[in-house]
């Protein structure tokens, strides 16, 4: 068997992203919860394989399947811009189990004020870790900025949840089940821009198709953060809008009336089934960048019309 060629583009997903099946295979591989069980040594081995290959060094005996496996393990545990290992619950591979558990509990325990406050706090604590761990670029963020974003988002989510809860007391029970979704949407509008405010000040890296860094752009940061806020809210719609309708119907059946303890695990399972996933990479036309960066890119390569950036999770 010959040595693995160096022309495999591991900057891009393995499967064709113009097809639904290709996108699904890519995202299910990146978010595979089994990657959470990998040891530190296995993660480091995958990182070494990927970094060596990008540097033009092929690990002896490496096959193409092993290269792609290492690439997806690397993507699931390390920040794409800084290369630092992400804290366990902030990793891509933790998104499905963490989100389905927390969202399921928010949708289940929405009737009592203490449980509403507790699960909104848990959700915003998790979101703060995810937003920081998967921020775009390598711009540092201070402890004060982290604290401001965390407290503001938690306060906004709890205030929205409790306010809407009081307003829906005299409405049909089904309406009250959608209060957690409204709280999550409000918190996303607060948490993400605050947590990533540093990017709005210094910009985020933009690259060409080959992944070569061309500069930093505030315009790309604004577009990326807006896309993340909208996609986070849209992501929550299937997981937080479909299960309440199903559970409202099921809880009227004798089966669940005799087994009320099944409510929480059933809700969590429904959320997991409905939970979609997000992706990192996005693009922006060079004409929408800052004049200085636009001139710099035009000087380097006038043929570049579109640049790419990591918008974050």
pLDDT digits (tens, 9 = 90+) for 241-274: 777 677 667 766 776 667 665 666 766 666 555 5
Same domain, 213 and 245: yes
Instruction: Identify whether 4 is part of a domain.
Output: no
Proportion of the chain in helix, strand, coil states, percent, rounded to 5: 65, 5, 30
Instruction: Identify whether 7 is part of a domain.
Output: no
Same domain, 196 and 305: no
Instruction: Identify whether 15 is part of a domain.
Output: no
pLDDT tens digits, one per residue of 80-96? 777 788 888 888 788 88
Instruction: Identify whether 113 is part of a domain.
Output: yes
Same domain, 265 and 293: no
Instruction: Identify whether 188 is part of a domain.
Output: yes
Overall average pLDDT of the 154-162 stretch = 79
End of a domain among 85, 120, 141? 85
Distance CA 30, CA 290 (A): 33
Percentage of the chain modeled with pLDDT above 70: 81
Residue range(s) defining the domain that contains residue 74: 20-85
Same domain, 47 and 172: no
Same domain, 210 and 291: no
pTM: 0.61
pLDDT at position 189 is 82
What Cα–Cα distance (Å) separates residue 289 from each residue in 132, 201, 203, 238, 273? 25, 14, 11, 34, 39
The residue ranking higher by pLDDT, 233 or 238, is 233
Given a cut of 80, whether residue 135 has pLDDT beyond it is no
End of a domain among 31, 60, 85? 85
Same domain, 253 and 289: no
pLDDT at position 280 is 55
pLDDT tier for residue 20 given thresholds of 50, 70 and 90: low
Q: How many CA atoms lie within 13 Å of 85's alpha carbon, on the beta-carbon side?
A: 15
Same domain, 138 and 244: yes
End of a domain among 42, 58, 85? 85
Overall average pLDDT of the 101-129 stretch = 83
- The single-letter DSSP state of residue 16 is -
Same domain, 154 and 258: yes
pLDDT at position 145 is 74
Instruction: Identify whether 9 is part of a domain.
Output: no
E strand or H helix at 281, and its extent?
strand 281-285
pLDDT tier for residue 198 given thresholds of 50, 70 and 90: confident
pLDDT tier for residue 42 given thresholds of 50, 70 and 90: very high
Q: Which of 12-16, 72-76, 160-164 has the highest mean pLDDT?
A: 72-76
Percentage of the chain modeled with pLDDT above 90: 4
Q: How many CA atoms lie within 13 Å of 143's alpha carbon, on the beta-carbon side?
A: 0
Instruction: Identify whether 185 is part of a domain.
Output: yes
pLDDT at position 268 is 61
Same domain, 74 and 181: no
| Residue 275 φ/ψ, nearest 5 degrees | -75, 120
The residue ranking higher by pLDDT, 49 or 23, is 49
Q: How many CA atoms lie within 13 Å of 30's alpha carbon, on the beta-carbon side?
A: 23
Distance CA 99, CA 262 (A): 19
Instruction: Identify whether 11 is part of a domain.
Output: no
Q: Is 40 exposed, middle or buried (0-12, 13-18, 19+ CB in 10 A)?
A: exposed
Same domain, 269 and 133: yes
Same domain, 254 and 135: yes
Domain count, the chain: 3
Same domain, 273 and 296: no
């Amino acid at each position: 068997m010959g040595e693995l060629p160096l022309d495999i583009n591991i900057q891009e997903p393995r499967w064709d992203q113009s097809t639904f099946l290709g996108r699904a295979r890519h995202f299910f591989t990146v978010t595979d919860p089994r990657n959470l069980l990998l040891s530190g040594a296995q993660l480091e081995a995958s990182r070494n394989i990927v970094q060596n290959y990008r540097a033009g060094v092929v690990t002896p005996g490496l096959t193409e399947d092993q290269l792609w496996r290492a690439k997806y393990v690397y993507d699931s545990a390390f920040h794409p811009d800084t290369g630092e290992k992400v804290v366990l619950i902030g990793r891509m591979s933790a998104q499905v189990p963490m989100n389905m558990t927390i969202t399921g509990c928010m949708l289940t325990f929405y009737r009592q004020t203490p449980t509403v406050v507790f699960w909104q706090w848990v959700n915003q604590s998790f979101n703060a870790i995810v937003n920081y761990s998967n921020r775009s670029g390598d711009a540092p963020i201070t402890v004060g900025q982290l604290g401001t974003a965390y407290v503001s988002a938690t306060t906004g989510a709890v205030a929205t949840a409790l306010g809407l809860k009081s307003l829906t007391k005299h409405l049909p029970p089904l309406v009250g089940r959608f209060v957690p979704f409204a709280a999550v949407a409000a918190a996303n509008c607060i948490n993400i821009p605050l947590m990533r405010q540093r990017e709005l000040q210094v910009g985020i890296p933009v690259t060409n198709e080959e992944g070569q860094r061309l500069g930093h752009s505030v315009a790309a940061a604004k577009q990326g953060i807006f896309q993340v806020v909208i996609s986070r809210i849209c992501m929550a719609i299937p997981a937080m809008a479909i299960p309440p309708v199903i559970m409202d119907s099921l809880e009227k059946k004798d089966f669940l009336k005799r087994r009320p303890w099944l409510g929480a695990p059933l809700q969590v399972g429904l959320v997991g089934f409905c939970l979609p996933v997000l992706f990192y990479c996005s693009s922006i036309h060079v004409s929408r960048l800052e004049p200085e960066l636009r001139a710099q890119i035009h000087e380097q390569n006038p043929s570049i019309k579109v640049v790419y950036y990591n918008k974050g999770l």
